[in-house]
Amino acid sequence: MKTEGIVRFDHTEKLVIADNLQSVKPMYGKASISDAPSIISRTLGLKITGNKSPIAGKDFPHVDRLIFFFLDGFGTSTVRWALEKFNLPHTQEFIDKADLDVITSTFPSTTSTATISCHTGLTPGEHGVIGYTQYLSSIGTVCNMINMSPLGLKGRSISDHVLNSTPDLIGNTIHSSLTKDGVKSFYYSPRAISKSGLTKITTGSAIIRPYLSHSHLFTLLKSDLERERGQSLHFCYIPTVDTISHKVGPYTEETANEIESIFHMILEFSKNLNTANTGILISADHGHTVVPRENIRDIAGDTKLRNNMICPAVGDLRAPFLHLRKDTMGESVEHILENFDGFAPINFKDAVKKGLIGPCDLRKLRFGSGEDIVIMPPDGTAIFDSTLSTLDPDSSEIDMIGMHGGLSREEMEIPLISYFRNR
């Protein structure tokens, strides 16, 4: 089974956080999922703003219709392992006839952060959404940034009331920009989440196409492509690789079979495209790493940190953010270094200097202060704060095998697969 194509074009770089941590630097403006809007605009032959040269200056051929498959949790390491371990003929056939680049996620490498960057071109430091959960000082509570609602209040969307309009939060989306240029934009999402807070703020003026199954998705996609005569973007969000990776594990037969099932449909669909002027791009928000349950540290009982924190630890288990009381950062960092073996605390100022969250004005942080810190766990470990269960009872149990949010190669490296029939 050939797998050399998985690493044929690798644009990632290592990053030094601590001696014991092997980290990958987010490649904003060069080879990151935040460069997706620039790539999409270039591929549709449209003018882009700024001087970004994504994917090391690589240019894709211009097309009139572009299909973008956004596979949640589809990390490079997962697909490489699946191809080496199992016979995935359809996945291999599609990769063999396409180009494959290895790019990076954002930091944190999590869905809410990376998805917003993918739709807007903004770095986390610019759009301000930095984790699965986040403390918003404007309303004084912790929010789920997928639902865009306070923990325990799933139906109370902060995007309607607190965050005001979409541009105030994240700026223009690729969908809004394309609409202004006369290009139709379609967004395909599982029906159950087609009205979620994250979907609402990232889809802009796109035409929403809720689907019930993968076959339903491809039926809708085929119908829209056949009907549209002008230029169009067809953005397809598929969450199932992530779901299985969380619950069963990223390096399992179940996840491999899910990848093969998706690529079987993509492959057959690509063979039946009735126009040579249609391109396909496939990428992801992040990958996954495995953390044994016994390596998840609950900091709810750490009295020293608890006294210094203004709220429970938020973010992701592989990238927990600690919002600290004034003048407690120094002693908090010292406490972590002495009592959390191998864990690396980083304050926001250093995170900006290291390029973790992209350009950022520390005086205008939407997500904390310059004295707050993020903890980087070693490989195979994570941090959990069970006091979140006081806000949301569903937060009291950790039932995940695959995790993400950190800077490891498994979490950060994602594929960008490009297929153009007329090439």
Dig out the tokens for 398 from the structure: 């950790």
Q: Is 37 left (phi over 0), alpha (psi -120 to 50) or beta?
A: alpha
pLDDT category, 366, cuts 50, 70, 90? Answer: low
CA distance 263 to 394: 33
The fraction of the chain above a pLDDT of 90, given in percent, is 62
The fraction of the chain above a pLDDT of 70, given in percent, is 85
Three-state DSSP state, 306: helix
Residue 48 has pLDDT above 90, yes or no: no
Beta bridge partners of 417: 100, 282
Quote the pLDDT of residue 370. Answer: 60
Calculate mean pLDDT across residues 308-335: 93
Residue 26 has pLDDT above 50, yes or no: yes
Quote the pLDDT of residue 51. Answer: 43
Question: Tokens 């969908």 label which residue?
Answer: 175
Residue 1 has pLDDT above 60, yes or no: no
Q: Please tell me the number of Cα atoms within 13 Å of 176 on its side-chain side.
A: 14
pLDDT in tens, 243-254: 999 999 999 999
Range in 37-46, 109-118, 150-159 the model is least confident about = 150-159
Quote the pLDDT of residue 83. Answer: 95
Given 3-state DSSP classes, what are the helix, strand and coil percentages for the chain, each rounded to the nearest 5? Answer: 35, 20, 40
Range in 205-214, 226-235, 386-395 the model is least confident about = 386-395
Residue 4 has pLDDT above 60, yes or no: no
Calculate mean pLDDT across residues 386-415: 88
Three-state DSSP state, 210: strand
CA distance 275 to 66: 11
Strands 278-283 and 413-420: antiparallel
Dig out the tokens for 32 from the structure: 């990151």
Dig out the tokens for 77 from the structure: 């390491």
Residue 53 has pLDDT above 60, yes or no: no
Contact 142, 134 (CB under 8 A): yes
Q: How many Cβ atoms are within 10 Å of 139's Cβ, its own excluded? A: 13
pLDDT category, 163, cuts 50, 70, 90? Answer: very low
CA distance 361 to 126: 8
Dig out the tokens for 120 from the structure: 């807007």
pLDDT in tens, 326-358: 899 999 999 999 999 899 999 888 888 888 998
Q: Where in the chain are the domains?
A: 4-125+164-287+409-420, 293-403
pTM metric for this prediction: 0.93
Calculate mean pLDDT across residues 57-70: 88
For the chain, how far is it from start to end, CA to CA, in angstroms?
A: 25
Quote the pLDDT of residue 365. Answer: 61
Quote the pLDDT of residue 52. Answer: 55
CATH number of 293-403: 3.30.1360
Residue 263 has pLDDT above 80, yes or no: yes
Calculate mean pLDDT across residues 224-242: 94
Quote the pLDDT of residue 10. Answer: 66
CA distance 31 to 35: 7
Q: How many Cβ atoms are within 10 Å of 126's Cβ, its own excluded? A: 20
More confident site: 65 or 138: 65
Calculate mean pLDDT across residues 178-202: 92
pLDDT in tens, 274-292: 666 899 999 999 999 999 9
Task: Supply the mean pLDDT for the chain.
Answer: 87
User: Which CATH number among 3.40.720.10, 3.50.50.60, 3.20.20.70, 3.40.50.2000 corresponds to the domain 4-125+164-287+409-420?
Assistant: 3.40.720.10
Measure CA 301 to chain center. Answer: 31
Per DSSP (E only), the strands in 201-249 are 207-211, 232-238
Respond yes or no on whether the N-terminal peptide bond of residue 377 is cis (omega within 30° of 0).
no
> What is the enclosing helix (H) or strand (E) of 93?
helix 89-97
- 293-403 matches 4-125+164-287+409-420 in CATH topology: no
Dig out the tokens for 205 from the structure: 């003026």
Q: Residue 101's closest CA among 356, 413, 410, 358?
A: 413
Q: How many Cβ atoms are within 10 Å of 137's Cβ, its own excluded? A: 14
Quote the pLDDT of residue 128. Answer: 86
Residue 158 has pLDDT above 80, yes or no: no
Dig out the tokens for 213 from the structure: 């199954």
DSSP designation for 405: B
Calculate mean pLDDT across residues 380-386: 94
Measure CA 129 to chain center. Answer: 11
